[in-house]
Structure formats: C-alpha cells, structure tokens
Amino acid sequence: MPAPLRLQGIPASAGYAEGPLFDIDRPPAAYAGKASSEEERTSLQAAIGKAVSRLVAMVEASDSDAAGILEFHIAMLEDDALSGPAFAAINSGLPADLAWRQALDAEIAGYTASEQDYFRARATDLLDIRDQVLRALTDDGGGAAPIGAILYGEDIAPTRFLETDWSAGGGIALKAGSAASHVAMLARSRGVPMVVGLVDPPAAPAGIALLDAEHGSIVLAPSATETGSFREALSAFAGRQVNARTFLAQPAKTRAGTAVRVQVNIAYPDDVDGIDIATCDGVGLMRTEFLFGKTLPDEETQYRAYRKVLEWAGAKPVTIRTVDAGGDKPVPGFTVEEGNPFLGLRGIRLSLTRLDIFRVQIRALLRAAVHGNLKVMFPMIAMAEEYARAAALFAEEQAGLVARGVAQLMPPLGIMVEVPSVAIAPEAFAGVAFLSIGSNDLTQYVMAAARDNAAVTHLNSVLHPAVLRLIGSVAVFGREHGIAVSLCGDAGGDPASIPALIEAGLRDLSVAPAQLAMAKAAISEVPV
C-alpha cells in the first residue's frame, strides 16, 4: 500500500468526488494488425467513420461553443487531404495505426511550428483527432472512463469531457489546464468537480483518490482516516447545497437580520427564461457584448433584447451595462488589435471613440426604458469626464427621440467601479446615480494579475486587504453621498468571499443565477 499523497491545485469547478483514477493520457490499446493492405485500408476507413459518428452524436448534445469545436473536428476527419498520406503509407506496407499516427504527427508538427499562438494551439485539436481515430481502430470503447472515475492527466480535450458519463459522479484532476478553459466552464455548468494546475504530480498514479474541488486538492492512496474526513466534508458540501435550495425563495438576510439584496448577472436575454423572478431582487448586470458577437446589432435587435428582460423583471430593477468590448472580448469591426488589450481601448473608452455604434445602443436603451425599471451603467470608467461625455450623449439622443415623437425615458446612469482610480478617488463621481463594483477587473488591476492566467491565480484574490479596503471605502463613500453601491463580480457569488464583502459594508450583490441559492445561504451565516 503506497503512502497517501496530497497534491495541491487550483479549484476550477467546486464539488467533491471519491473514485478510481483514470489516466486520460494513457495510450490507446495495442492494435491488432490485419493480413493485407486491403484490410488495413478498410479498417482505417471504418475507424474514421466511427470517430465521425461519435462526434456527430456529441454535436447534438452540445451548446454552440462546443459544437463549433466538434464540427471543426468532423470537417478535418472528412477531408481526404488528412487521411490521404495515411492510406498511401498503408499501400507501402504500414499497419493502419502506425500509418495514421505518422500522417497525423506530420500534420501536428506543422501546427506546433507555427509562429502564431492561435494556430499553435490547434495542435491540441489535431492530437484529439488523432487519438479519437486510434481509439476507434483499437476498438477500446473510445477509452471511456468507468462511471464515477476521476479523470487524471496533463490536460483534457473537450471531446473527452463531452463523451464522459457524469451522471453518477466523478471528477477531473489536471496537471496543467486552466480555470478559464472551455472545459472548466462546461464543468461548472454541469456541476462536475474539477481541479487544475496540480503541483508536483506523479506520472500515472492508480487506485482510489479523493478530489476536493472546493479547496483544490486531491489525495492519492488515501488512508482510512482521510477517507473518513473526506466523506464528512463531502456530505457537508452536499448538505449546504440542499440547504441552500430552501433559501432560494426567501429574501436574503444575515444572522443578525440585516437585509442583503441579491440580484443576478446575465449575458443573454434568454438567460432569464430559466430563472424565477421571485427568487432574486432584479438583474444587477446584464452584459450586452453578446449582441455584438456576430455582427454589429441594429437598434431594433438591441431594443427587443433589452425590452424582453425588462418585461420579465416587472417592477424589479434591470441594470444594463453598455457594451464592454475589448480586453478578452474582441468584436470584429469594432475593437482594435492592441499589444496590451486589458489596459487599452476597451469598455467606455472604445464606445466614446466609436460614437456611430454607441449612439445606436443609447437609442435602443432609451426606448426600452419605458418597458420596465431600467438602470444603465458604463464599464471601465477611469475619469469623471468619461461619465460626463456618455451622459451628454444620452441627453442628445433623448432630445432626438423627443423631436421625432418616439417613446423614451431617461434611465438612472451609473458606473462600474473596476479601474482602481475610481475606487481610490471616488469623490469625482458624486454625481452618478449608482456605483457597481466589478470585482474581477478591480482585483486584476489592483493585484496586476491577469484573471485568465493560471500562473498568477494565487495573486488574484478579492480577499487581499488592498482590494477589500478599496471596496470598503467605496461603500462608505456611497453611504455618505446617498449613492447606491453594489457588486457584480464573481466574488459576490462565492461563499468564501461573501462574509468579507458584507463586513466591508456591501448590502447589494449580483451573482450568476446558478450561485443564487448558495449565495443566500452564505449570507445567512454572516454575523453582521
């Protein structure tokens, strides 16, 4: 019996899993060679066909992001230019598996050698494609992990995640990986526990392991004592989840009875379809970048999207953020390419340079305002002049609509507090209607740690005294000047951060819909 070994990593999707380790880097089973080249060709053809049909089945069960990746894999597999060299190699005497591997490795080398990050990253897709066919060739059931297993390895391919049966538990523990990866997002939405960036991992451990993706660790070869306390933590976590559901229908308040407003963050108008408005206090952040995803949206498209959410919310407030493109959210035909996009032309800075686009959004918002309780906020404000310019544009567009006899209403105009200059010197903003703290950006700018970089995750904490002190002083400024202050970053829905945020003086949090219940439950434990 090997000694227990605890590895530390970074939590990417909260939860607990106890189960057998499954090595996802394990090479496919040995291929049984055929008697003739003719049979080898048939065997490879069939394996490619099998891989394609597996992918087609996965596309049907996927969201549009995942489907985009899968359709790329399908198109590559269906292209004779990919398999051509492999069939040629079979004709010259190689077995199907070796021929396919050599052909794909040559293709992969071309991507690995690219000077462009994007194309170099596609090598992962080619590896995924190579292994899907190799697994189909050796017929080892796609290398499917046993139900309830903890998938362990370097990194995980999206197809691997999508083809795994998560219905009976299981989890993911990765040596590399990132909490910002596409698979991490899928894991969070499906409630699959996941830890990334394991420190000093052994190559290919086996046996039962304990994955704690709430705190970010895994125990290999656990002792009976460790298993016992792990199961207690697991059932406490499950209990908190069940318990949280009972809080969902209640207004949130702390143990001392202090009321805390809990609103939701949404990205798409359709997000509200799955939410009962009675369970939240409104929409604290509606992003509008989605509208700008494909092409620049016209006024009517935007108006309809805003109106839908306002009508859903009824009398409860809906805070819509003007387009926050740039940074990690490029929009073709709108954003500019920059060396350091997080510090460049993004959010309100970009909108104020592209008035043709900004004015369309402003008109759509003014018109939608008559259909509910709208508030509008500007992202990435650093100086009061930016707010003044944006507010002046609202007044100009309102005058235009009035002149044309179009129904409209001026909403209260507020700002995001995410650039440290605003949090440090809020007195310049005494005239705004409300302040909404964007804790993700505020934290990354205060700590100088990119939020999508796993190597600096340890620095990116809202609980650092520097960040908490800024949040506290913004809350004080708001109280003294009668300006409402809320918070709409990820920290608002994180049970570990909520006590500190309430203690810092916040009484208004906006969280992802999936975190609503847990956030309310966590608030109820806060003593203040």
- Tally the C-alpha atoms within 13 A of residue 392's C-alpha that lie toward its C-beta: 8
Taking CB under 8 A as the rule, does residue 68 contact another protein?
Answer: yes
| Contact partners, residue 338, CB within 8 Å, separation at least 6 | 326, 344, 345
Structure tokens at 364: 């759509």
Taking CB under 8 A as the rule, does residue 146 contact another protein?
Answer: no
Taking CB under 8 A as the rule, does residue 76 contact another protein?
Answer: yes
Number of residues that bind another protein (CB under 8 A): 51
The nearest distance, CB 159 to another protein, in angstroms, is 14
Taking CB under 8 A as the rule, does residue 489 contact another protein?
Answer: yes
Out of 23, 39, 71, 299, the residue judged to bind another protein by CB under 8 A: 71
Strands 150-153 and 413-417 turn out to be unpaired
Please report which residue ranges of 369-460 form alpha helices under DSSP H.
384-403, 420-424, 439-447
Taking CB under 8 A as the rule, does residue 292 contact another protein?
Answer: yes
* Residue labelled with tokens 């990820």: 490
Of 73, 280, 371, 488, catalytic: 488
- Please say if 280 is a catalytic residue: no
* Residue labelled with tokens 């597996």: 54
Order of strands across the sheet that contains 10-13? 5-8, 217-220, 208-212, 16-23, 150-153, 171-174, 194-196, 10-13
Taking CB under 8 A as the rule, does residue 295 contact another protein?
Answer: yes
Residue 58, amino acid: M
Structure tokens at 318: 């809906």
Closest by Cα among 424, 439, 432 to 483: 432
Taking CB under 8 A as the rule, does residue 265 contact another protein?
Answer: yes
Nearer Cβ to another protein (172/491): 491
Taking CB under 8 A as the rule, does residue 103 contact another protein?
Answer: no
Taking CB under 8 A as the rule, does residue 503 contact another protein?
Answer: no
Taking CB under 8 A as the rule, does residue 271 contact another protein?
Answer: no
- Please say if 488 is a catalytic residue: yes
Of 182, 215, 280, 464, catalytic: 182
User: 228 burial class (0-12, 13-18, 19+ CB within 10 angstroms)?
Assistant: exposed
The nearest distance, CB 185 to another protein, in angstroms, is 9
Scanning 2-10, 202-210, 473-481, 483-491 for contacts with another protein by CB under 8 A, the matching segment is: 483-491
DSSP 221: S
The nearest distance, CB 253 to another protein, in angstroms, is 25
Element at 474 (helix H, strand E): helix 465-481
* Residue labelled with tokens 């293709």: 107
Residues 307-336 that bind another protein (CB under 8 A): 325, 328-333, 335
* Torsion sign (Cα): 374, 520, 243, 258: negative
Taking CB under 8 A as the rule, does residue 222 contact another protein?
Answer: no
Structure tokens at 246: 């009972």
d(CA 526, CA 195): 28
Out of 64, 167, 225, 340, the residue judged to bind another protein by CB under 8 A: 64
The nearest distance, CB 79 to another protein, in angstroms, is 5
Contact track, another protein, 402-421, x by CB under 8 A: --------------x-x---
Out of 27, 293, 314, 431, the residue judged to bind another protein by CB under 8 A: 293
Contact track, another protein, 15-54, x by CB under 8 A: ----------------------------------------
Structure tokens at 461: 């904490």
Nearer Cβ to another protein (92/116): 116
d(CA 17, CA 5): 16
The nearest distance, CB 119 to another protein, in angstroms, is 5
Task: Provide the total of helices (H) and of strands (E) in the chain, helices listed first.
Answer: 18, 16
**Which residues of the shown chain bind another protein in the complex (CB under 8 A)?**
64-65, 68-69, 71-72, 75-76, 79-82, 107, 110, 114, 116, 118-119, 122, 125, 180, 265, 267, 285, 287, 289-290, 292-295, 325, 328-333, 335, 337, 416, 418, 438-441, 451-452, 488-490
Residues belonging to the active site: 182, 488
